[in-house]
Amino acid sequence: MNALTVVSLAVVAVCSGAQLPWYPGLYGAHPGLHSWYRSGLPLMPQPTMKAMAPGPMAYNMAPFASMAPIYSQYGAQNEFGQYAFGYNAGFNARAETRDAFGNVRGSYNYLDADGKVQTQHYVADALGFRVSGTNLPEAPAPAVPEYTPEVAAARAAHQAAHSEASAAAAATPATQ
């Protein structure tokens, strides 16, 4: 088995060296220093240059942010069930802690498809799981109900009956 491994490695080394005969290797000299390169014999087809009218050059490159992300992470845990962990990878980050009573608090953020940083905060404790975030939808304000004519007439009749019953109760003397 060892002989097969040695032979395989030797074949790979020989084959990989033959792929680029003009390349002297990682630690070798520059290919321009070789005698066959200086002799003018082309090893590869040389491109031909055409004369162009002078003019401004334009580059079609998209702009990019040159901010280097910060990569860090941490983690800790003890015998009481408490823990804390987190990481920071540029626009993606997370942090979470748990205390001895089982309360968990944390947050995370990420870069969404529109290029905005979205942040979520969450808590899990005796009151349940609660979350707040920058991309959560908000409920619309409740609209004031408008009553149909039938409902408006029934409400007016009920209010009149209630007022009449209240007046009758106030006129009757209390007995003990």
**What is the identity of the amino acid at 35?**
S
The predicted-structure confidence for 100-155, as pLDDT tens digits, reads as follows: 999 999 999 999 999 899 999 999 999 999 999 998 888 888 887 889 999 999 99
CA 27 to chain centre: 42
Pairing of strands 128-133, 117-125: antiparallel
Pick 106 or 175 by higher pLDDT: 106
Average pLDDT over residues 43-62: 55
Bridge partners, residue 124, by sequence: 104, 129
Query: 27-41, 66-80, 116-130, 134-148: lowest mean pLDDT where?
Result: 27-41
> pLDDT above 70 covers what percent of the chain?
59
